[in-house]
Amino acid sequence: MRRSVVVGLVVLVCGCSSAPALDVQVPQNFDLSGQWLLNPVLSDRPPDTRRLMDAAERDAIKRGPRRRPPKGSALAFITHDFPVLNAQSMVIEQNRDSMGIRYDKGEYRDVSWGERKRGLWEVSAGWYRGDLVIVSESSDAKAQETMSLSANRQTMVVLVEVESDGQDFVSTRTFERVPANR
């Protein structure tokens, strides 16, 4: 847990705008394969997308008609692009050049090491100081997901930080590995 606090502070100080140079070689012993269950005690609550959308609509009314999109409006769709924020469990399959994540609500995500396009996002995925970092950028938002494994590789902390139209969103989700013989 102490490590996730340090990672969180580094990300907050550096911000997602200063993405680190990422290594595409999987570090030895960094394997996320398996089933993971959310530890709700150590995790932030999922974002309230209705509240985010209401705030964006109130901002749009203040700005008047024919103005730019409401400030932070992209944040209202955050759980669509980052399903880990609502996930109670995940099943991950990892190999040397990518990983697939199946979330409990039916969403599936493929992450390839290196750079690629994912919908509206330009995505760069790789390792920085032993953590898996996924940086996503679009015309109106930047996001960074940092996946850190505990020393015994049984706990994964996922830090999600998104900046959209000057609005910031940060969330930490902690997952415990389900033993294989379960």
Write the pLDDT tens digit of every residue in 41-54.
Answer: 999 999 887 776 66
Q: What is the pLDDT of residue 3?
A: 46
Residue type, position 5, single letter: V
Q: Is the dihedral of CA 54, 59, 60, 65 positive or negative?
A: positive
pLDDT greater than 70 at residue 8: no
pLDDT greater than 80 at residue 14: no
- DSSP three-state, residue 54: helix
DSSP 23: B
Q: What is the pLDDT of residue 139?
A: 86
Best CATH choice for the domain 2-177 from the list 3.30.830.10, 3.90.1150.10, 1.20.120.10, 2.40.128.20: 2.40.128.20
Average pLDDT, the chain: 82
49 vs 87, more confident: 87
Q: What is the pLDDT of residue 47?
A: 86
- Prediction pTM value: 0.79
